[in-house]
Amino acid sequence: MKKTTLIYLGILVFASFGFQHSLPAQTVKDIFNSETPVMYLGIDFTKSKLIDDANTNANDLRDRHYTGINELVLGEPKKYDIKGAIHKSSFDHDLGSVNKRNEKANAEEIHSTNSGDFHRLKEEDIKAMVSGFDFGDKKGLGLLFIMEAMSKSDKAVAVWVTYVDMANKKVLLTDRVEGKLSMGFGVRNYYATGVKNVIDNIEKKKYKEWQAKYGS
């Protein structure tokens, strides 16, 4: 009897293990299926340049405001309506990985007076960044915002909106989206206005473009 029970349990464990590892990989079409859950992973600032803003302390930006902007976006979901912009019914978040990465950003490399740094990253750079992420045991569709630059002179931010299959760190879709800066009190609120406008641009224009190109 005991032997039969052990065999039965072994079959269940094996079946469960096999099922978990046979889960289908995410595809670009899952981005446009409103019922496919997505995990929002936050804003990665590790390659971000702060252009023509000598008054903002780089260490303070890294140590306080990177986290502050990420928390603000999640803390005001009606204003920063990512869920609505990407047309998802299920929207979870986990900022653990980006917070750890942002803490290690090199403060000496943040400031820039080169306007060309606003357009310096390529799709290959984004894929290389994603390959270095630690998603832990997460599987499924992930959404990551990779901040390329925040420019005081251009009054804009540039974000690579990036969908990934977290199980294999594959980039499914990445596109560069700009957002204009507007009035905001303090460093955090000022640059967060650019993130809001990136989200608005996704809702008004970019999502439809992506769906027309990749969703059919």
DSSP calls for 114-165: -GGGGG---HHHHHHHHHT---TT--SEEEEEEEEEEETTTTEEEEEEEEEE
pLDDT mean over 65-88? 97
Instruction: Please determine, for residue 110, whether its predicted confidence score (pLDDT) is greater than 50.
Output: yes
What is the per-residue pLDDT for 215? 83
Average pLDDT, the chain: 91
Q: Are 155 and 183 in contact (CB under 8 A)?
A: no
Query: In terms of Cα–Cα distance, which of 147, 164, 166 is closest to 51?
Result: 147
Average pLDDT on 100-114 reads 97
User: What is each CA distance from 81 to 68, 72, 87, 117, in whole angstroms?
Assistant: 17, 12, 10, 28
pTM: 0.88
Of 167, 147, 39, which is closest to residue 102 (Cα–Cα)? 147
52 near 113, Cβ under 8 Å?
yes
Q: In the chain, where do the E strands start and end?
A: 38-44, 49-51, 91-93, 111-112, 141-151, 156-165, 170-180
Calpha distance 141→31 (Å, rounded) = 8
Q: Write out pLDDT tens, residues 135-146.
A: 999 999 999 999
Q: What was the pLDDT predicted at 24?
A: 67
Q: Give the domain ranges of the chain.
A: 26-214
**Model confidence over 145-199: pLDDT tens digits?**
999 999 999 999 999 999 999 999 999 999 999 999 998 889 999 999 999 999 9
* pLDDT score for 25: 80
pLDDT per residue as tens digits for the range 5-54: 444 444 444 444 443 444 568 899 999 999 999 999 999 999 999 999 99
Residues 81/198, Cβ–Cβ less than 8 Å: no
Per-residue pLDDT, 19: 36
Contact present, 160 and 126 (Cβ < 8 Å): yes
